[in-house]
């Protein structure tokens, strides 16, 4: 059975849930081989997790250069592994850093790239949103080794304990790989809520909220559901909520089980970041708002009436 390379998504060695999802997906059409790229000493934190989710092998490359330069070192190492291992496919998560790495790997290996897959069949046919997510198509790579960027929450992670073989990868980088140096890192403030891109439930607020302080309504509903909080660009541009919480074409892409849009019109650029959510609920006072064209459930009404009632009802049912 051919290997399927899975780029491990992690924060300082702590694997993100999407890594388990990619390993689970890889098992459906090959032998999952995790590729861990990180700073020296970080792999130790990921080892157990990768074994728990069925990695048959782990390629380990640790170097200060991997996190010290943008994209280049990771892409160079991964592309070299693709050449050596001739895998059936390469799977990476649809996050900002990994998207960049995926594109570089596809270019270096002269391979086809599939972007934003929400499903991948055993014969490597991907379901994918294109044109900013407004159209869903099925696609298959016909050249080289398929490099597939998969949205978080596309696969339910299943544990499959294994004892992976470990292979240390020598890090010998070209000058070209060190083209863009990281000069500073700003760690996102911790909110105590789930990570926006990985959350099972997301509650987002838009211009309809009218003011920064009204985001408290969205946060309360989110906390009742154990959800992450998102925002439209109108809300982040107005300074009502941090830009790191923006959902959409120029923000983050989310694909939760449940997406609740509060006071958001449903512009194409917002839709691009959330339309593959499994169930979409919209609260809007305008029955003609575009979001009702693609929402699964629509609540026409004033959010200042609807949201507190919704929150209270959920709290009551939880009790």
Q: For binding to ligand FAD (CB under 6 A), which residues are involved? A: 206-208, 232-235, 246-251, 263-265, 267, 269-270, 273, 283-286, 289, 302-304
Measured from the CB atom, the residue of 12 and 302 that comes closer to ligand FAD is 302
Measured from the CB atom, the residue of 96 and 182 that comes closer to ligand FAD is 96
* Least CB distance to ligand FAD at residue 204 (A): 8
* Annotated binding residue 245: no
The closest of 62, 68, 17, 71 to 36, measured between CA atoms, is 62
Reduce the DSSP state of residue 255 to 3 states and report it. coil
Measured from the CB atom, the residue of 72 and 206 that comes closer to ligand FAD is 206
* Annotated binding residue 267: yes
* Annotated binding residue 268: yes
* Least CB distance to ligand FAD at residue 118 (A): 18
* Least CB distance to ligand FAD at residue 254 (A): 11
Measured from the CB atom, the residue of 147 and 289 that comes closer to ligand FAD is 289
Please check whether residue 209 is in contact with residue 232, taking contact to mean a CB–CB distance below 8 angstroms. no
Q: How far apart are CA 296 and CA 156, in angstroms?
A: 22
Task: Give the full edge-to-edge strand order of the sheet including 258-262.
Answer: 228-231, 201-205, 258-262, 279-284, 297-300
The closest of 48, 35, 32, 37 to 12, measured between CA atoms, is 37
* Annotated binding residue 207: yes
Please check whether residue 239 is in contact with residue 213, taking contact to mean a CB–CB distance below 8 angstroms. no
Please check whether residue 47 is in contact with residue 10, taking contact to mean a CB–CB distance below 8 angstroms. no
Measured from the CB atom, the residue of 167 and 249 that comes closer to ligand FAD is 249
* Least CB distance to ligand FAD at residue 182 (A): 24
Measured from the CB atom, the residue of 201 and 272 that comes closer to ligand FAD is 272
Reduce the DSSP state of residue 113 to 3 states and report it. strand
* Least CB distance to ligand FAD at residue 270 (A): 3
Within 8 A by CB and 6+ apart from 172, the residues are: none
The closest of 280, 277, 298, 279 to 289, measured between CA atoms, is 298
* Annotated binding residue 243: no
* Annotated binding residue 247: yes
* Annotated binding residue 122: no
* Least CB distance to ligand FAD at residue 293 (A): 12
SS3 content of the chain, % helix, strand, coil (to 5): 35, 25, 40
Q: How far apart are CA 138 and CA 119, in angstroms?
A: 9
* Least CB distance to ligand FAD at residue 180 (A): 24
Q: How far apart are CA 202 and CA 149, in angstroms?
A: 21
* Annotated binding residue 244: no
Measured from the CB atom, the residue of 29 and 304 that comes closer to ligand FAD is 304
Within a 13 Å sphere around the CA of 121, how many CA atoms are in the beta-carbon half?
A: 9
* Annotated binding residue 264: yes
Binding residues: 207, 232-233, 246-250, 263-270, 284
Binding residues for FAD: 207, 232-233, 246-250, 263-270, 284
């Amino acid at each position: 059975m051919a290997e399927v390379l899975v780029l491990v998504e992690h924060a300082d060695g702590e694997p993100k849930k999407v890594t388990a999802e990619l390993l689970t997906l890889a098992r459906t059409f090959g032998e999952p081989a995790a590729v861990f790229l990180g700073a020296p000493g970080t792999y130790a934190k990921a080892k157990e997790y990768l074994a728990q989710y069925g990695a048959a092998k782990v390629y380990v490359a640790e170097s200060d250069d991997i996190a010290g330069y943008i994209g280049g070192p990771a892409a160079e190492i991964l592309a070299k592994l693709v050449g050596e291992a001739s895998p059936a496919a390469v799977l990476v998560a649809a996050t900002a850093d990994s998207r960049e790495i995926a594109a570089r790997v596809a270019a270096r290996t002269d391979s086809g790239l599939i972007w934003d897959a929400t499903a991948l069949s055993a014969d490597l046919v991907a379901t994918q949103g294109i044109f900013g997510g407004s159209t869903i198509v099925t696609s298959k790579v016909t050249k080289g080794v398929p490099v597939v960027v998969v949205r978080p929450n596309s696969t339910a992670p299943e544990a499959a304990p294994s004892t992976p073989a470990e292979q240390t990868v020598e890090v010998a980088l070209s000058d070209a790989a060190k083209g863009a140096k990281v000069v500073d890192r700003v760690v996102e403030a911790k909110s105590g809520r789930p990570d926006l891109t990985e959350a099972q439930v997301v509650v987002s607020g838009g211009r309809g909220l009218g003011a920064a302080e009204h985001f408290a309504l969205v946060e309360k509903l989110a906390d009742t559901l154990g959800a992450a909080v998102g925002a439209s660009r109108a809300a982040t541009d107005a300074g009502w909520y941090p830009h790191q919480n923006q959902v959409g074409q120029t923000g983050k892409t989310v694909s939760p089980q449940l997406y609740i849009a509060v006071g958001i019109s449903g512009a194409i650029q917002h839709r691009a970041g959330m339309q593959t959510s499994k169930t979409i609920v919209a609260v809007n006072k305008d029955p003609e708002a575009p979001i009702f064209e693609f929402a699964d459930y629509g609540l026409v009404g004033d959010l200042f009436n609807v949201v507190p009632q919704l929150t209270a009802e959920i709290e009551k049912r939880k009790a």
